[in-house]
Structure 1
């Protein structure tokens, strides 16, 4: 699957470029007279085995307090813990052969204005000598929820799913509701979206096309919400609510997130793995 892997890696890189450009345009159009934010781009390398990626982080912008849009293409051998976890999920052949390759894009945005929602998105392809699969999704994380924003975001994800399989949206929405749940707080991390993993229908082209559709749906789902909310007035109570919600987000990512655990366990750049954490948070 060398050609397929190269094609997937190029696509994720292209999606990264498009989102970075769109977010910098939002910064140009953002409120205030401060200088518009720009991404700082840093190559990353794995400590072990091979590959790396691009870490793109913007801090202290007009619109984005912190946003990361990372791309990676890595390969090597799975750690025993990662091997065991994948074998437990039913990934074929991984217990016998630990070699792997993976590529994807990972994005988390934390906003200046508490009225504008935080967001997470990632899509990825994973390969082992015995199998391959796609995974990813997107979910919205407002500290101050607006029902119309939630409905818009879900509608875009629904549309992307329905173009490929009418059963995908209800299935992957329910998966997101379960996956992005914080058990020790007995509440959801945000207002959901879609999440899927281990997607292998036997038709690589169809599964890749669906994964591209999820990535392409992200900007239409998120950008209009930012433009609507980035100039909206807010007060200190709103900011306090945002910082407390960020605490919940940090707890989830450090304790439960599968991608965080995998990235740290396989020796990827820790700063790139943990770029999802908010710049400021609060606990009570």
Structure 2
């Protein structure tokens, strides 16, 4: 992370991109609901997103930003999916300052001002054969540093190796123009980040992940972040289209619910974004929209 500037234009461009990506994904997911015509849940009413503004309020009661929480529940294809965008700013609390300082953010305790914008998506599916998925990308700014972070990972409860291969190959195709070393590095980072120590296993089949991304070239890092976002729909939608009409059993559903418990454990215990959102006073419903609607533990 390097010396930062005001970055007004950079912030506006990043915030606008996350909103543009959100709009594209919402349209695509509602299209999947509309055109699901056969197989399980095809006779149900197609789902649509409920959109709710979110707000963040500073300790002194002043406005500190916000965003949009878009959630669809009980559709033909999606049991619950959230696509959130936010742009927040203000002053980091003492605990957040210490966490940032521990990560090497320069000057954060002397000037704890911050600005952050991003998109966060989690989809839990009706059909157990359709994998759950997570994606987020974000930009963070302080008076002395800036960086990007995020990625996407696939979380099937019933794994199909060909689906896993497609998801990873698509991500690699979008990332290779940024250097052939980028995809392997971000894949390895995802394997490490999305690991659940107390279960001694990964929460899914991996993907890509990065944090504190700052090579000193904002345009290059922003372009990489955009391509992580652009890779998402072509990596994921074909898997939904392939599996959504596949018959499933009660045993498959049980497997799905138990796997969701694993996902909930990770998000509540380890996920950095969940911790940051709650620690900085963002809307808890938006922060916790990643949790599945139903889950089981054995």
| TM-score, normalised relative to structure 1 | 0.99
Residue 189 (structure 1) aligned with residue 203 (structure 2): yes
SS in 1 for 2:34: helix
Q: Name segments (4+ residues, structure 1) moved above 6 Å.
A: none
Residue 19 (structure 1) aligned with residue 37 (structure 2): no
RMSD: 0.7
Q: 1:10 aligns with which of 11, 16, 20?
A: 16
For each residue in 1:119-172, what CA deviation from the matched residue of structure 2 results, as whole angstroms up to 9, or x when unmatched? 000000000000110001000000000000000000111112211121111111
Displacement of 1:95: 2.4
Contact 2:135 2:151 survives alignment (8 Å): yes
Q: 2:135 aligns with which of 108, 121, 126?
A: 121
Residue 148 (structure 1) aligned with residue 162 (structure 2): yes
Contact 1:47 1:269 survives alignment (8 Å): no
Structure 1 distance, partners of 2:93, 2:151, is 25
Displacement of 1:47: 2.9
Structure 2 distance, partners of 1:152, 1:40, is 31
Report 1:175-214 matches (<5 A).
175-214=189-228
| TM-score, normalised relative to structure 2 | 0.94
Task: State the aligned residue count.
Answer: 284
Residue 46 (structure 1) aligned with residue 56 (structure 2): yes
Residue 91 (structure 1) aligned with residue 102 (structure 2): no
Residue 73 (structure 1) aligned with residue 87 (structure 2): yes
Structure 1 distance, partners of 2:129, 2:273, is 28
Unaligned runs of 5+ in 2: 1-6
Q: Which residue in the other structure is 1:64 paired with?
A: 78
Structure 1 distance, partners of 2:98, 2:175, is 31
SS in 2 for 1:46: strand
Displacement of 1:117: 0.1
Q: Which residue in the other structure is 2:117 paired with?
A: 103
Unaligned runs of 5+ in 1: none
Contact 2:57 2:65 survives alignment (8 Å): no
For each residue in 1:72-103, what CA deviation from the matched residue of structure 2 results, as whole angstroms up to 9, or x when unmatched? 00000111111111111111221221100000
Q: Which residue in the other structure is 2:177 paired with?
A: 163
Structure 2 distance, partners of 1:92, 1:17, is 34
